[in-house]
Amino acid sequence: MTSRRLVDFHCHLDLYPDHEALVRECDCLEVFTLAVTTTPRAWRRNQQLASKTRYVRTALGLHPQLVATHATEIALWEEFLPNARYVGEVGLDAGPRFYRSLDRQKQVFERILRQCAAAGGKILTIHSVRAATPVLDMLEQHLPQDRGAAVLHWFTGTKAEAKRAIELGCYFSINIEMLKNERHAGLVAALPPERLLTETDGPFVKGEMGQMRPRDVAQTLASLARVLGLEEDDLATRIQGNLKQLVSA
């Protein structure tokens, strides 16, 4: 295990069977971890656990894949928002399984963006499967750069969409699965290094030893360093600096 401090900016800690122990592990190993939630009902318990730590933070989410069945929870999401600095997982999913709910997803996502803009200072981790352009359209329309910050989680859009996202001030959180795809790795290599963060998206992504845990973001760091042609320690320092820049904005 490396002694360098690592950053896992997108992990579903509450979907692991040892949720509480994993939160403690992140803190013990000094892995800066953003625990995303898929529904606002999950936020309170995650927040209670994270509030006892130095290195774990919780994001208030309403996952686009769950909007078809949980859209009414947007009211609960709004109730919790004043106490949440981080928001996620939110966004749009236009994949075949979820395309039918896309209009409803857009309604919910717009409401989320408007509320975040009104509150100011929120940091969002955003899902954009087959929906990069509409996500960017909505960010541009409803979340001015001086009212919040957007991190595109597992971004797989085009180079043109990536360029637009950069112009809109977006960051990108990179996981190891993205780097296994030649096209996606090429896209990542062209992104500004100062806009990059690392993530596991555990437990949905597998690494060398099975389901990725926040500590395994070291594998992501190593793969990303190879793609960028950088030393791991230098990249780790840059990622830490990027995170500090993001949260201090």
**C-beta separation of 127 from 147 below 8 A:** no
- Say if 1 falls within a structural domain: no
- pLDDT surpassing 70 at residue 60: yes
**205-227: per-residue pLDDT in tens?**
998 888 999 999 999 999 999 99
pTM of the model: 0.97
Domain that holds residue 78: 6-248
- The rounded distance, in Å, linking the Cα atoms of 193 and 30 is 23
Strands (E), the chain: 6-11, 31-35, 56-60, 86-93, 122-129, 148-153, 171-174, 196-198, 206-207, 210-211
Section 117-134 average pLDDT: 98
According to the model, what pLDDT value does residue 139 have?
A: 98
In whole angstroms, how far apart are CA 71 and each of 6, 89, 183, 248? 34, 14, 34, 32
- Say if 71 falls within a structural domain: yes
- Say if 177 falls within a structural domain: yes
According to the model, what pLDDT value does residue 106 have?
A: 98
**167-206: per-residue pLDDT in tens?**
999 999 999 999 999 999 999 999 999 999 999 999 999 9
Q: How many domains is the chain built from?
A: 1
**63-99: per-residue pLDDT in tens?**
999 999 999 999 999 999 999 999 999 999 999 999 9
Give the tokens for residue 124.
Answer: 């969002």
- pLDDT surpassing 70 at residue 3: no
Q: Calculate what percentage of the chain has a pLDDT beyond 70.
A: 99
What's the whole-number average pLDDT of the chain?
A: 96
Q: Counting beta carbons within 10 angstroms of the beta carbon of residue 84, is it exposed (0 to 12), middle (13 to 18) or buried (19 or more)?
A: buried
**C-beta separation of 188 from 179 below 8 A:** yes
According to the model, what pLDDT value does residue 63 have?
A: 98
According to the model, what pLDDT value does residue 4 have?
A: 78
Q: Which helix (H) or strand (E) holds 46?
A: helix 43-50
- pLDDT surpassing 50 at residue 2: no
According to the model, what pLDDT value does residue 249 have?
A: 81
- pLDDT surpassing 90 at residue 1: no
According to the model, what pLDDT value does residue 224 have?
A: 98
CATH number at residue 217: 3.20.20.140
According to the model, what pLDDT value does residue 213 have?
A: 97
According to the model, what pLDDT value does residue 208 have?
A: 86
